[in-house]
Amino acid sequence: MRVDHSDFGRCHSFVIRHFRGADKRSTVELRLISEMRSNGEDSWTPAPVPDTNSLAKVAAAAKECTACPLYRRATQTVFGEGPTRATMFLIGEQPGDYEDVAGKPFVGPAGKILNRALEEAGINRDGVYVTNAVKHFKWEPRGKRRIHQKPSARDIAACRPWLEAELRLVEPKLVVALGSTAGQTIFGSSFRVMKERGKILSSRLAGKVVATVHPSSLLRQPDEASREREYKRFVADLRVALKAAETE
């Protein structure tokens, strides 16, 4: 179902049912809708998640996704990766330049710092499920470079059914939201990661959620001292997540 402006209300009722399997709209969803309206982002299709309990089938269907225009510029869909029954589930923002080419999440510079921090926090990356809120790389050309662009409310909303399917099928004990896009995908646009980081939170999507900064923010620190300080805080947040994942 391709949606245009005149279909807006009807589409949103469809999306809400699709997202939730229920009739009631949550505050998060209402806010998302109103943001999309004010941004004029009203041409999109909810991601067509197949009715299956197989994560492999969902991943295969995601490869063909054209729900929002991001697929046109991206090399490929970058779906989540990790054990189907992982206890811990990490959500980033969207694939970057490296991930877009490799077809795997968090394999570039942000992935390297994430791997180091996970190891230091005592978490084995091979044992966790790693994915992104948005599954296509959003970028704009600048000379020969592809410059990352932040995903919009439309991009996140169109892609959200994939994330919901991953969460439903993996059923993790704990979700780690890496950065504000992941946090806002779970809790809505008023979520402030710097205020909520390192706490054990709860949402309809996941019983336990710990939010922290995005690993790429560590790479943008102005000097060595702040890089080191922020890296330590990041590892501390991951330790909180590990402890929460290990307790009932």
Q: What is the contact mask toward ligand URA in residues 123 to 142, using x (rule: CB under 6 A)? A: ---------x----------
Residue 99 near ligand URA by CB under 6 A: yes
Q: Which is nearer to ligand URA, 93 or 155 (CB)?
A: 93
Name the minimum Å distance from CB 163 to ligand URA: 13
Q: Which is nearer to ligand URA, 18 or 104 (CB)?
A: 104
Residue 110 near ligand URA by CB under 6 A: yes
Distance CA 22, CA 18 (A): 8
Residue 92 near ligand URA by CB under 6 A: yes
Q: Which is nearer to ligand URA, 77 or 216 (CB)?
A: 216
Q: Which of 46, 80, 96, 161 binds ligand URA (CB under 6 A)?
A: 96
Contact 206, 186 (CB under 8 A): yes
Q: Estimate the share of the chain in helix, then strand, then coil, as percent rounded to the nearest 5.
A: 50, 10, 40
Q: Which is nearer to ligand URA, 181 or 203 (CB)?
A: 181
Contact 145, 105 (CB under 8 A): no
* Three-state secondary structure call for residue 201: strand
- The token pair at 65 is 């996704």
Residue 89 near ligand URA by CB under 6 A: no
Binding segment (CB under 6 A) for ligand URA, from list 32-40, 88-96, 194-202, 203-211? 88-96
Distance CA 162, CA 147 (A): 25
Rounded to a whole number of angstroms, the CA Rg of the chain reads 17
Name the minimum Å distance from CB 110 to ligand URA: 4
DSSP 146-179: EEE----HHHHHHHHHHHHHHHHHH--SEEEEES
Q: Which of 46, 80, 82, 105 binds ligand URA (CB under 6 A)?
A: 105
Query: Which residue type is seen at 169?
Result: L
Q: Which of 44, 106, 139, 234 binds ligand URA (CB under 6 A)?
A: 106
Region of residue 90 (left: phi > 0; alpha: psi -120 to 50; beta: else): beta
Contact 131, 80 (CB under 8 A): yes
Residue 93 near ligand URA by CB under 6 A: yes
Distance CA 215, CA 190 (A): 21
Q: Which of 3, 67, 94, 154 binds ligand URA (CB under 6 A)?
A: 94
Q: Which is nearer to ligand URA, 81 or 120 (CB)?
A: 81
Map the footprint of ligand URA across residues 190-219, applying CB under 6 A: 216
Residue ranges in contact with ligand URA by CB under 6 A? 92-96, 99, 105-106, 108, 110-111, 132, 216
